[in-house]
Amino acid sequence: MNAWAGAVPVSKIGGTSVAESVDQVSLAAPDINGPVFLSGSVSETSFNLADGPATFTVTVRLADPSGVKAPVIAVSHDTSGQSNGFGTMQLVSGTQTDGTWERQVTIPASGAPGSWKVTLYPLSDLLGNDSDGFRTIDTITVTNAVDTPLTAPSAPAKVTVAGGNAEATVSWTAPASDGGAKDTLINKHV
C-alpha cells in the first residue's frame, strides 16, 4: 500500500491558499487480475448407476480483492457428449473476496457409463477481470453394472477318455454356460 503525508492545497479563498493537513492517504493497488483459484474438490468420484443416480457436491475456494462473480461449472461425459450440472455455484462460506462455493450435481441413472469431467469455467471478478481458461476439478467414474448371482456352470460336452500305457487322455468341449463366472476351473480326476 502506498502512503503520503503532508499539506495539500485545497482551494483559494480571496486569493489566499487554504491547506489541509493530511495525516495519511492510503492508495490500494488497483485490481487488474482475475480471481485466484485456491482449491477444488468433489465429494465422491465413483458411482454405479445400477444403484441409482450419482449425486455429488463440487466445492471450490476462490479469492479476489474486488469480489468473485458466481463461478460456473459443468459435468460432461468424455465420449458420449452427454452433459449435466451446468450452472452457477452458490457461496456457502466466507465472502466474495475469499470464499467457498458449492454446487450439487446429479447424473441420472440413464447416464452413460465411463468418465465424466467436472469443469470450472473461466472466472470473473466484479470489475470484469477474467482468469485464464477452463479448469478440470476432478473426473467422476461411472459404471452401470448389475450384480448377478453366480450359478453352477453347465456340464462340459463331448467328454472322451482315451486310455494308454499307464496314462489316460481326457478331452471335452467347454460348458455352454459358465454360470456367470469369468474364470471356470474344471478339475480332472483320473
Q: Give residue 163's pLDDT.
A: 78
Mean pLDDT of 74-94: 94
CATH number for the domain formed by residue range(s) 36-143: 2.60.40.3880
Single pTM value for the model:
0.64
- Domain residue spans of the chain: 36-143
Identify the burial level of 31 via C-beta atoms within 10 angstroms of its C-beta, where 0-12 means exposed, 13-18 middle and 19 or more buried. Answer: middle
For 24-79, the pLDDT digits (tens) are 555 677 888 999 999 999 999 999 999 999 999 999 999 999 999 999 999 999 99
Q: What is the pLDDT of residue 17?
A: 53
